[in-house]
Structure 1
């Protein structure tokens, strides 16, 4: 078994995509559409376990399968939540924002989705790595998200509602990814 869980497979695949490595497309040579068992990832999984294929190849294959088979909103929520690729993360955040139903004003929704996808980091000014998106500390002040200065209780309710909706979307996306990975013959210990 290559991955311990669906979440591990998703995170590993998204991390592999962010690595600049010209050999990461080697998995395409191993892909045989219409193979006898119809489950190409199972063949790739056996190759990894036998040392014939690298983990990077498997991660890239998983990335490609999930990207092509998941619904766009499921793909975007996984990328927004777990990807370290700056460009893809920002694009996915932008595509998620219109999908969030809330009574909050538009600026609040945009800010809440962004803060959920790019949480405030602990440490000196939230700075850890130049490879990560780091927002200014003041961005996370929800008072700035509502120009009409509604009561704090209302703003907190809106924020929690948006975060809960996004976490539900993550759960749905991981369940959909589990179905795809199971079909491909990649058994998982648990769904998340």
Structure 2
């Protein structure tokens, strides 16, 4: 059985399993069938199968807004990540204008990485995305923009934290956390 060292790594691995599963030839079913023919499912195939099952369980059992927050923050599947961001933008309440909310959510989900200019990562946005002055057509005081961005990010992180608590309960119930074994 595969165990996760913490809740966040479980979420990252489960969400990455979808990307691995959707890549050509990486479907887990043939791997599981081949491993079954050899006997017990062990090693990488067993870990991958657990990751896929955790993905399914989280997708099915988490509240929609929690699922979207986790996918927006942690997924490496570009299509799912963008769809989750779009749903968050539609449902997010803030006094900030829509375009500002959209940019704040996108840059939260795809933060600027130190020393990275989009050359090694597909999850890095062009530099202009991170400039708050580009987030609205109307000039706004910088303090107002900072407050809007801070409040939006704080709310999104709160959603992620709530989702991680729910995930921890699920993983504890299944005995999949290392701390649950110790």
| Cross-structure match for 1:17 | 18
Assess if the C-alpha contact under 8 Å between 2:32 and 2:45 holds in 1.
no
- Give deviations 1:4-56, integer Å, cap 9, x for gaps: 11111101111121112433236987xxxxxxxxxxxxxxxxx77x6495211
CA distance in 2, matches of 1:23, 1:108: 39
Gaps of 5+ in 2: 34-39
After TM superposition, the score normalised by the length of structure 1 is: 0.80
- Give deviations 1:58-90, integer Å, cap 9, x for gaps: 111111111111111111100100011100000
Task: Classify 1:64/1:147 alpha carbon distance in 2 versus 1 (closer, same or farther; 3 Å).
Answer: same
Q: Which moved more, 1:51-60 or 1:112-121?
A: 51-60
CA distance in 2, matches of 1:92, 1:159: 19
Aligned length: 170
Assess if the C-alpha contact under 8 Å between 2:7 and 2:177 holds in 1.
no
Assess if the C-alpha contact under 8 Å between 1:25 and 1:60 holds in 2.
no
Assess if the C-alpha contact under 8 Å between 2:14 and 2:51 holds in 1.
yes
| Cross-structure match for 1:86 | 78
After TM superposition, the score normalised by the length of structure 2 is: 0.84
- Higher relative contact order by CA 8 Å / sep ≥ 6: 1 or 2? 1
Task: Classify 1:174/1:167 alpha carbon distance in 2 versus 1 (closer, same or farther; 3 Å).
Answer: same
**1:66 partnered with 2:58:** yes
RMSD: 2.3
Q: Which structure: greater helix fraction? A: 2
